[in-house]
Amino acid sequence: MSKKPLGKIPASALQMLEIPRYEQAVIDGFLALDDLTGTVSDAMDELGLDGVVPASVLMPTLPMARMAGPALTLRNVEQRDNAYKGARERVSKMAEIEAHNLAQKGDVLVIEGVAGISNMGGLSAAIAQREGEAGAIVDGGIRDVAQSRSQGFPVWSRGVSSITGKWRLETVAVNGVVSICGKQVKPGDLVVADEGAVCFIPREQVEAVLRRAREIGEGEARRYADIKAGMPVPELAQRTHVYKFNPQP
């Protein structure tokens, strides 16, 4: 059943109330990959998909975290009004609560935000965690990192800033197309992330990426086994084509 908007932003800014989602088997298939974003990034390269952002740009707050889930998108911009006027009058124009209200278990909140200002804090992370969201991706600043860490809620962001966005930012769209570090993300695209990168996979390419990532992972597993078994370097070099492109030994 669709949830009703909370009225924090104009109805026109809520572009979708329901996003496309995936069978659990698809999510489990990605999470079963040993080198999650490594194999997914390689598969996306082979399929000509440009949607990978390194962790040096979007840094994880929980280094060992890994996740896969559909994108629930949100866009923030800087307010035109004086920020201190909003602080004096206690008027916030941020509305990620609208996205949390639409979230289902396993969704990933993806925020096109503003650098140097917090687009997500500890209270928002607590709500996201309670609603079952898998994590958040923020192209911009975040704060209250100790809180989100203590909750076990992973966030990948451009950086950390204690400067609040409550009086400085305005949410202008929920579940529209966003740009994250130059990568276009649509609601329902699959987000895959770990300590190495964040990958945005177009919905129509998810099955193809998973299939190829599995093949790449199987090839790497065979190579690791051959290395451990003592296979000489020249023979390893000769087998490179087999490891990379032939899923059968």
Q: Tell which residue, 12, 87, 33, 14, has the closest CA to residue 201.
A: 33
Residue 158 counted as an annotated binding residue: no
* Tokens representing residue 128 in the block: 């996201």
With a CB cutoff of 8 Å and minimum separation 6, the contacts of 13 are 171, 172, 173, 174
With a CB cutoff of 8 Å and minimum separation 6, the contacts of 49 are 201, 202, 205, 209
Residue 144 counted as an annotated binding residue: yes
Q: What is the Cα–Cα distance from 118 to 162, expressed in whole angstroms?
A: 6
Query: Residues comprising the binding site for substrate?
Result: 143
Binding residue ranges: 143-144
From the annotation, which residues make up the binding site for Mg(2+)? 144
